[in-house]
Structure 1
Amino acid sequence: MSHRNAALTPRHRLKVARLVVDFGCPISEVAARFQVSWPTVKRWVDRYLAGESMQDRSSRPRTSPNKTPKQVTKRCVSLRMRLREGPVQLAARLDIAPSTVHRILSTARLNRLSYVDRATGEPVRRYEHSHPGSLVHVDVKKLGNIPDGGGWRYVGRLQGERNRAATPGKPKNKWHNPRLGYA
């Protein structure tokens, strides 16, 4: 996207078209003034006269006459899920090119057999988020089970053992001693 004062923005295209249509300036002079070719100025003038927008148009074609029919696409996907065959085998069954089958399967996210559940043949459904930041993030931290009164590193081995034995409410192991390790 260009900045708002660039020479080729929709606002300047409208200025170019108005100079030619409303003020009668020659197309070649307007093209030289705005440093564009005269066919470009002519295109913008024709759009202005037709009442069309001066915005950038998509380069995507309006129609695709050679597009694969929906019936073939549906049949290709259903055969993939039912038979779990590759593009070459499916292309032979459907009488179309393997590259076309691969494109259909890629669009349907079935191009790899690992994307299909082996038991049911259905596409694997992954947990996806509707928008960024919707995942709940949980941090886990290990905390040492320190007995009341301090552990052996702080108060020494003898007092640490006494504190550990006298600490109430701590989980016990199978020998009825306070559980060591982390919480």
Structure 2
Amino acid sequence: MAYYAGLGVHVKRLLTDNGAAFRSKEFAAACKALGVQHKFTRPYRPQTNGKAERFIQSALREWAYGWTYQNSAERITALASWQHHYNWHRPHSGIGHIAPMSRLKSANNLLTVHS
């Protein structure tokens, strides 16, 4: 949450699947402490969380299997770079062929957090 707050984003609601980690008392307490309303997707209905499903599909196609890696450690090392590209530079058709970070209207100058 601190990462998003640093970008001027206030998280009000969180949509997750029904995994055990998200159903735990600890997770519920964390959401309550942060003032975040937690909602669950419908069981066995991935389309109710389409954005997350689309992200996973893109990650698998563009990062995990989009390149040849020598080993798993090399693949994991490449993740941060891919995530940066995905969020800061890659056009997304669902938001008018712009990068997601360009949509943020923050009091902070986004260039100061871009690396």
TM-score by length of 1: 0.16
Greater strand proportion = 2
Larger of the two Rg values belongs to structure: 1
Task: Flag the structure with more relative contact order, 1 or 2, with Cα contacts below 8 A and sequence separation at least 6.
Answer: 2
Greater helix proportion = 2
TM-score by length of 2: 0.23
